[in-house]
Amino acid sequence: MSKIYDVIILGAGPGGLAAGLYSGRARLSTCIIEKGQDGGQIAITDSIENYPGQIVEGESGPSLIKRMTEQAEKFGCERVRDTIKSVELGGKIKKLVGTNGSYEGKTVILATGAYPRPIGCKGEQEFLGKGVSYCATCDANFFEELPVYVVGGGDAAVEEAMYLTKFASSVTLIHRRNELRAAKSIQERAFKNEKLHFMWDSVVEELGGDDILQEMKVKNVKTGEITEIRASEEDGMFGLFGFIGRIPNTDLLKDCGLTMDDRGYIPTDDDMKTNIPGVFAAGDVRVKSLRQVVTAAADGAIAATQAEKYINENP
């Protein structure tokens, strides 16, 4: 007979690991399932500056996640490396079926995360964390007094571009159309910002550089003209931020009765409860206004606490 866990946590990013810490400390039998490396998006971040209690002298994504992982395991969380292929969440006992086995639990915390929609240019992955970023709040400080380029034209892209003007020497927004899609009120503020410039009808084609981002080819979609951008000798590099949306990791959950919004994110209440009893969501996969390590960790703590309450009320 297979083991029935009190809590199964799907995903070992900050939200999932925080949930594991709290459920483990509550003496709940807990299994964290992760298909890749722990940490999610934060695992590829070279430097972190805005997580409370971090090592001030220098904290990387991997170093922070390593400690989170050790903390969860200290309180008895079992770890499984597996890719889940199907889920059954509707019954009293939830079942997750993976490539390597099946897992049953009284509650499930979905912490599968989301990932930035890629810009789609040559060299993008090569320069990720070396000039290419998808999070202004996370990485703006690293581009102080350097030129920065932003890809996108919606609300998020324009707002993040304006945020970056507080740090960068200049910010140029690259948009494939000849007008922004952002709300008019946001556009008005953007056009008044003297440090914010625009490249219309343009897409980034290719990135280059000597280990850090130093060169970029931008194509005009109407004329086909290629503009080559190179970092000045004084600057040595520039930044490129992509804000063309995020994609939640919820394909697996589409046919299990779970309510999702039109983008695939999971709505929850303040207690991280989904529409299915005993199923909770935490971190970037949720419908939420701020996707950061600190908010994911808070979600995980709440979800685990509520999972314990659910188990006590549904023996």
Which of these is catalytic: 31, 77, 121, 138?
A: 138
Confidence of residue 43 (pLDDT cuts 50, 70, 90): confident
Which of these is catalytic: 135, 155, 201, 235?
A: 135
For the chain, domains (ranges, CATH) are 4-116+246-313 (3.50.50.60), 132-242 (3.50.50.60)
* Residue 93 CB coordination number (10 Å): 12
Say yes or no to pLDDT of 156 above 90: no
Say yes or no to pLDDT of 154 above 70: yes
**Three-state secondary structure along the chain?**
CCCEEEEEEECCCHHHHHHHHHHHHCCCCEEEEECCCCCHHHHHCCCECCCCCCCCCCECHHHHHHHHHHHHHHCCCEEEECCEEEEECCCCCEEEEECCCEEEEEEEEECCCEEECCCCCECCCCCECCCEECCHHHHHHHHCCCEEEEECCCHHHHHHHHHHCCCCCEEEEECCCCCCCCCHHHHHHHHHCCCEEEECCEEEEEEECCCCCCEEEEEECCCCCEEEEECCCCCCCCEEEECCCEEECCHHHCCCCCCCCCCCCECCCCCCECCCCCEEECHHHECCCCCCHHHHHHHHHHHHHHHHHHHHHCC
Mean pLDDT of 59-66: 87
The reply to whether 138 belongs to the active site is: yes
Give residue-wise pLDDT tens across range 265-305. Answer: 999 999 999 999 999 999 999 999 888 899 999 999 999 99
Say yes or no to pLDDT of 174 above 90: yes
Say yes or no to pLDDT of 263 above 60: yes
Mean pLDDT of 194-206: 98
The reply to whether 135 belongs to the active site is: yes
Say yes or no to pLDDT of 238 above 80: yes
Summary mean pLDDT of the chain = 94
Confidence of residue 46 (pLDDT cuts 50, 70, 90): low
Confidence of residue 202 (pLDDT cuts 50, 70, 90): very high
Say yes or no to pLDDT of 1 above 50: no
Say yes or no to pLDDT of 140 above 80: yes
Which of these is catalytic: 31, 38, 121, 139?
A: 139
Mean pLDDT of 15-20: 97
